[in-house]
Amino acid sequence: MENQDPYQNQNPGQNQNPGYGANYVAPKNTSTVSTGDWIVTFILMAIPFINLIMLFVWAFGSGTPVSKANWAKARLIFMLVGIILVIIFWSAIIALIGSVAAFGQ
C-alpha cells in the first residue's frame, strides 16, 4: 500500500489513455486535394448562399484538408474586406448625393 500510485483508480470510469485527455489535439488532415475535388469546390462556390455555408464548413471543419481549410479562411477574409469596401463606397455615394442635394437648395 505504501508504493501505490496516488493517481491510480482515481477516476475509474475515465479513459486512462493519455492521448485522449483534456489536452488531446486531433491530427490534421494533410491529404492532397484532387483536381476533381477542386472542380466540385468551384462549382459549389458559384451557388449563392451555399458558397458562404460551405466556406465556413471547410474553414472550421475538422475533417477538411489543411490546404483547403486555409483557402476557405483566406476566401472568407477577402469576402469580409469586399463587404467593408462596398459599405464604404455606398456611404460615400450617399454622402455625395446628400451634399449635392443640400447645395442645390
Q: What is the pLDDT of residue 78?
A: 97
HSE of 63, CA atoms in CB hemisphere, 13 A:
1
Look up residue 35 and give its three cell numbers. 483536381
Q: What is the pLDDT of residue 77?
A: 98
HSE of 79, CA atoms in CB hemisphere, 13 A:
13
Q: Which residues of 61-99 are buried (b: 16+ CB within 10 A; e: fewer)?
A: eeebbeebbebbeebbeeeeeeeeeeeeeeeeeeeeeee
Q: Measure the N-to-C terminal CA separation of the chain; round to a whole number of Å.
A: 96
Question: pLDDT, tens digit, for every residue of 60-89?
Answer: 998 899 999 999 999 999 999 999 999 999
User: What is the spatial distance between Cα 87 and Cα 83, in angstroms, rounded to a whole number?
Assistant: 6
Question: pLDDT, tens digit, for every residue of 35-61?
Answer: 999 999 999 999 999 999 999 999 999
Domain ranges of the chain: 33-104
